[in-house]
Amino acid sequence: MSLAVVFALLSLILSGVNDIVFKIYSVGGRSRGMLLFGVGLIWTLSQLGIAQIQGTPLEFNQATLSFGLMAGVFLTLSNLMLLESLGSIEVSLATTIYRLNTIGVVLLSYFLLHESFGWLKGIGISLGLIAVFFLYKSQNHQTHQKQLLLFMGVAGVASLLRASYGISSKAGFLDGADRNSMLIIISASWVVGGAIYAILREKRFRITWEKARFILISSVLIVGIVNFLMLAIEHGEASTVIPIANMSFVIALLLSVALKMEKMNMMKLGAITCAIGSILLLSQS
């Protein structure tokens, strides 16, 4: 097993747990912006500490600044939209759509980074779309179909933005960007983006002890997620390691069922099977 795959698997596990934390936070009507603001603040401080421990000087060259800011905007927006979708639809549906950003990664990697694309990846994209269809059918008992479709669309846009984050990060590395410096720019984007969202969109900017608890837990998880994913991207092809990390929706679904947040059914089982097959095929180099 390559080092890149090991890093991707570690990111996978932490991502699945964090999706559940996001879901629990979102259904309580709490401020999404404040969560990103608080997590971004702790993440930035942690990233500075990691750079000090590693003894690596920060290097804010042109590639780091431009691609770091680009990746930061993409990741901030994608997580805000994921939180919004998790507040209204089941974990299995929102996270599977979000993690199928693999489709966007593979297509963007082919067109922008000139990475490989073959018939296996074409079948993988088809399976991913079938997985989303199965998950949608599993929700047909819901009476608010318009709301369901709306927040599926929100999760879909979040997925596209997440794919753009992965590609811009890889493009930054190819252009000589510094990893730790890029992560500090990205985490700072969460601070700014979260504050703007809380003040302008949600009309509230207040930290409570309850929010602080969620912020602390999610911060620990996200620092691990992004650092392991960045290491995976740095050591392997984006179209290979990102699909592996994106398998975290399986962890999220299993935890959601175990915590009685949703029930397993045949449609969901079929969807998860298709999604796993999709990601395995998409990760073929």
pLDDT of 207-236, one tens digit each?
Answer: 889 899 999 999 999 989 988 887 887 788
- The answer to whether the beta carbons of residues 70 and 168 sit under 8 Å apart is yes
- pLDDT category of residue 67 using cuts at 50, 70 and 90: very high
Q: Which of 189, 277, 273, 279 is nearest to 8 (CA)?
A: 279
Choose from 142-151, 171-180, 197-206 the range with maximum mean pLDDT.
Answer: 197-206
Tell me what the mean pLDDT of segment 244-257 comes to. 85
Tell me what the mean pLDDT of segment 118-142 comes to. 78
- pLDDT category of residue 31 using cuts at 50, 70 and 90: very high
Tell me what the mean pLDDT of segment 87-104 comes to. 85
Cα–Cα–Cα angle for 104, 46, 246, rounded to 5 degrees: 25
Q: Give the integer Cα–Cα distance in Å for 233 and 229.
A: 6
Tell me what the mean pLDDT of segment 265-277 comes to. 86
pLDDT at 142 over 60: no
> Worst-scoring range by mean pLDDT, 20-29, 54-63, 116-125, 260-269?
116-125
- pLDDT category of residue 64 using cuts at 50, 70 and 90: very high
- pLDDT category of residue 147 using cuts at 50, 70 and 90: confident
pLDDT at 143 over 60: no
Count the alpha carbons within 13 Å of 83 in the hemisphere toward its beta carbon. 24
- pLDDT category of residue 171 using cuts at 50, 70 and 90: confident
Tell me what the mean pLDDT of segment 52-72 comes to. 90
pLDDT at 115 over 80: no
With 0-12 / 13-18 / 19 or more C-beta atoms within 10 angstroms meaning exposed / middle / buried, residue 196 is middle
Tell me what the mean pLDDT of segment 95-121 comes to. 78
- The answer to whether the beta carbons of residues 229 and 8 sit under 8 Å apart is yes
pLDDT at 285 over 70: no
pTM listed for this prediction: 0.86
Alpha helix ranges (H) inside 142-237: 145-174, 179-196, 209-235
Whole-number average pLDDT of the chain: 86
- pLDDT category of residue 238 using cuts at 50, 70 and 90: low
The pLDDT value given to residue 110: 76
